Structure 1
Amino acid sequence: MIFESPTKGRMSFEEMFTDLLEFLNREPHDQYRLIIGTDSHTRHDTVLVTAVVIHHLGKGGRYYFHRSHRRAIKSLRQKIFYETSTSLTVASKLTEMLEKAGVADFDVQIHIDVGRQGETKELIREIVGMVTGSGYRAAIKPDSFGASTVADKYTK
């Protein structure tokens, strides 16, 4: 899985994780939040973008994104579930690696591209349940900037 960083360029998942750890270790006593969000856009095929955001609370942050192409997903419900399961897969791998690196107590959020306005409002309960049932905190619009702003920026 190849990620891109606006400041560092293309990197493997492991290189992205190493860069993330280095960012955390600059000020290890500060507070950080790890945010994973996925968004997609369908034309001929579906472009899926997963963003990994390390938010240094009160001091900015850094993000990485992975872009992939899939066959066209036409169903909104299927698309939202696919986006969320992709975020959960990345979050699971990252939290496992963080635990191995000795960073176990960490605020991890999954940002979901659903909100109380529009077609996705009927999916909120199911999707949030899927995330919280996996052990992560869930954020929906307007608070889900990891999916609705960062990932969305790279789907077009």
Structure 2
Amino acid sequence: MANTFQNLSQKNMPFDQVFQNILHFMKKDPIGNFRLMFGTDSQVFTHYTKFITGIVIQQERKGVWACIRKVIIPRKMTNLHERISFETTLTEEVVSLFTNEHKEQLINVVLPNIYKGASFSIEGHIDIGSGKRNKTRVFVEEMVSRLESIGLEPKIKPDSFVASSYANRFTK
């Protein structure tokens, strides 16, 4: 799998550069409510399926820094369960790049400011919904428990904007 990331201003970033950007973003104003969010979306084309995984660090009411990773599978992935499962796998894969040491560094930015109201959470956004008319609702429990098992706070539609909005923009 490709392990380079990009955003509108930087291309071919290795993971270490992504991590340094996130750390720098948090250190600029460490008294904040930070959400580190991951999510993947996909689009099926004639001869391939494109998967985009987004990483977003948000400081509530203060802005975001974000990037994506693109993975192309050279076939049409038409089975919905396979595609949703692979989206979740790609999210898990990017999350796994954040070792305990990485997470500790991020937490240590916020820790001295907890009593001043600072906070830090890690979320996994899944492009599925539990609505009655949503074809993906049958996969909600499975995908949510997969993300919980790796320590993420799972979010589904309408709260999974990293997958359903940010990553989605780049699948087209």
- TM-score of the two chains, using structure 1 as the length reference: 0.92
Q: Which residue of 2 aligns with 1:49?
A: 52
Deviation sequence 1:8-59 (CA, Å, 0-9, x none): 3442211111111110110112120000000111111110100000011121
- The amino acid that maps onto 1:130 is R
CA distance in 1, matches of 2:81, 2:106: 37
CA contact (8 A) 2:15 2:97 kept: no
CA distance in 1, matches of 2:151, 2:106: 19
Unaligned 5+ runs, structure 1: none
Q: Which residue of 2 aligns with 1:84?
A: 88
% identical equivalent positions: 30
Aligned residues: 156
Deviation sequence 1:79-135 (CA, Å, 0-9, x none): 101101111121122253523536367410000000123210111111111111222
The 1:95–1:109 alpha-carbon spacing in structure 2 relative to 1, beyond 3 Å, is: farther
Q: Which residue of 1 aligns with 2:62?
A: 59
Give the 5 Å matches for 1:24-43: 24-43=26-45
SS at match of 1:101: helix
Quote how far apart the aligned CAs of 1:76 are. Answer: 0.5
SS at match of 1:146: helix
- The amino acid that maps onto 2:100 is E
Unaligned 5+ runs, structure 2: 112-119
SS at match of 2:27: helix
Quote how far apart the aligned CAs of 1:3 are. Answer: 0.8
CA distance in 2, matches of 1:60, 1:17: 17
CA contact (8 A) 2:53 2:69 kept: yes
CA distance in 2, matches of 1:90, 1:97: 15
CA distance in 1, matches of 2:130, 2:103: 34
SS at match of 1:94: coil
Q: Which residue of 1 aligns with 2:153?
A: 137
Q: Which residue of 1 aligns with 2:137?
A: 121
The 1:136–1:69 alpha-carbon spacing in structure 2 relative to 1, beyond 3 Å, is: same
The 1:146–1:102 alpha-carbon spacing in structure 2 relative to 1, beyond 3 Å, is: closer
CA contact (8 A) 2:88 2:143 kept: yes
CA contact (8 A) 2:40 2:127 kept: yes
